[in-house]
Structure 1
Amino acid sequence: MDSTTSSFEHRLRDNAGKVEAVLSGLLADACLNGEIVRPTRLLEAMRHGVLNGGKRLRPFLVMETAALLGGNDDAALRIGAALECVHCYSLVHDDLPAMDDDDLRRGQPTVHVAFDYATAILAGDSLLTYAFDIIAAPETDLPAERKIELVLALSRAAGIGGMAGGQALDLAAEKEAPDEHGITMLQAMKTGALIRFACEAGAIVAGASAEDCQRLRLFGEKIGLAFQLADDLLDLTADTATMGKATGKDAARGKGTLVALHGQAWAEATLARLVTEASELLSPYREKATILIETAQFVANRKS
């Protein structure tokens, strides 16, 4: 491991620790103003689905894109925590028997296994709702118009035309395998939309220009594609212990992936191209973009 890689991974871990601490505080027992009571079992299920490690890549992207453009660090951290609540809600629901039917997540029993189906559904519902609470709350130190922009962008990324719609397409793909365009669209929605939002959100936090927002959005789209392509490769090549979740499930269910269509060599070449394109998008920022370029490389080359 060279010093650059070590420095990047240290920064990723350090930021993950900050996100974990904020999420732990947000999921404390004490009620917020306007809440009546926080049911113990529901709160425990939410914690189980959120406070279980993980790289916290999406919050990291919010924090680093905001830092690139001079945004408020504390506000970016809270927006990253809100995004992680949406991401974790999606995992809790996707793991349910009616969806992807998984018993293991990040090396731990999934929420519906550790608790029960109904509690898992409610935990996911609560996490999704809480994300918008976190954005709107006075503790998030941003002008109201930026909060509105973030709420709108996250709603679009997470909803019917984004992540949730992508999951619907993913379920449909089990019955009828999509063509290459269909696979690409499904993945851009289910996986890519929140990664794209993470990069755009940092620019919004910073009050950046429309040009900067668009540039970071495109960067997010590129690494979102790379993330899913790397995930599909790992589904074929990694084992369950390494991944912390079941592998080989897409192939077992007959789901089409770009890796299955084109092969491992094509996927590796495409990942390299996406990293190059993502890096070139950030060339106007020169050395200030180093961490984000390293993030693109990490996404493409990760082993879990």
Structure 2
Amino acid sequence: MTSIPHVHANVLQSAQQQIQQDLQLALNAFSIPEPLKGAVHHAVMLGGKRVRPALCYATSHLKPNHPCFAAARRAAVAIELIHCYSLAHDDLPCMDNDLLRRGQPTCHVAFGEDTALLTGDILQSMAFEVLGSRLFDQGQVVPAEIVLRQIQILATASSRMVCGQVLDLQAEGKHVDQEHLEQIHRNKTGALIQAAIMMAAVTIFEGTDPAIPKLRQFGQAIGLAFQVQDDILDVTADTEMLGKTAGKDEQVEKSTYPALMGLEQAKQYAQKLHDQAFEALEYFADNATELNQISQFLLSRQS
């Protein structure tokens, strides 16, 4: 196993504070009528681990003080808006029918199904509007080709996420093999995590830079590892720790890694995926300290 420095909580906490401020600035830039405005705030601002923005910031820090950091900040906001839209829709009665999210009533419980559906719709649109804006720009304008590449990355990942959701719903109550399960989760969960990394990567590296495939490799490994760990926590953690209903996967007979390979083997597989992620980061040597620390947190997290 690759040796990794201990996690410094302030790396993730700093990212959480930054994205909370940036999300609020972004939401303030939109004119949204009530009750939709309240529902959007509920879906976006009630916390969460903010892993995707944290990965976005940490990737951009591979080259500190880069002039395109505003584009990475916009990417962090956009990826979190897409993630929050997916949760609002995922919790709906026609999907997973969840009542709790981040320790609070889910969007449809608090505001009704119609408003929750529209909340997801507008968050998706807002994400791309933020990406194409000049929010956070100071001085140098980010080149249009970088913005276009970010939009392409996010659009592709969003489509893959939806396809993964479909495959996940189709697999409920069925026994699927590991190849099929990974197809589900590389799309449903992994695509957005990888996009968070790659949207920041294209702001600091040229397309031919060997750093790009290394970050893609890292994103693929950490994205799948995140889902394996989620499946494990659904079995081992309680509702208070998770902030959402524990044991829900088993109740609705979802296909999960503990169900497929057993809890201990699932834990070993999560470790294997994290080792692959850490190995990819070795290319960046000490410059990848933040990415390493976030990855270590994801492996050891309990919620």
TM-score (norm 1): 0.92
Q: Structure 2 matches for 1:1-304, cutoff 5 A?
A: 5=6, 8-28=8-28, 31=30, 37-70=31-64, 71=66, 72-139=68-135, 141-159=141-159, 162-210=160-208, 211-304=210-303
8 A contact 1:200–1:214 mirrored in 2: no
**For 1:45 and 1:209, how far apart are their aligned partners in 2?**
39
Cα separation, 1, equivalents of 2:49 and 2:174? 33
Q: Equivalents in 2 of 1:237, 1:198: separation in Å?
A: 28
* Deviation digits for residues 240-264 of structure 1 (CA, Å, limit 9, x no counterpart): 0000001111112222212211112
What letter is aligned with 2:20? Answer: E
RMSD: 1.5
Between the aligned residues of both structures, percent identity stands at: 40
The separation in 1 between residues aligned to 2:279 and 2:258, in whole angstroms, is 25
- The higher relative CO (CA closer than 8 Å, separation ≥ 6) is in 2
- Matched residues in 1 for 2:36 and 2:120: separation? 10
Letter in 2 for 1:259: P
Q: Which runs of 4+ in 1 moved over 4 A?
A: none
Q: Which residue is 1:34 aligned to?
A: none
Q: CA deviation at 1:5?
A: 4.2
Find the aligned partners of 2:253 and 2:145 in 1 and give their Cα distance.
45
Unaligned runs of 5+ residues in structure 1 are 32-36
- In the alignment, the residues of structure 1 paired with residue 227 and residue 271 of structure 2 have an alpha-carbon distance, to the nearest angstrom, of 14
Shift of 1:177: 3.5
- Alignment check: 8 A CA contact 2:56 2:72 kept: yes
Question: Normalising to structure 2: TM-score of the pair?
Answer: 0.92
* Alpha-carbon distance in structure 2 between the residues aligned to 1:291 and 1:207: 18
Contact 1:146/1:207 (<8 A) preserved:
no
Asked whether the 8 Å contact 1:59–1:81 carries over to 2, the reply is yes
User: Which stretch has the larger CA shift, 254-263 or 129-138?
Assistant: 254-263
Distance in 2, Cα, partners of 1:154 & 1:273: 27
Shift of residue 179 of structure 1?
Answer: 2.2
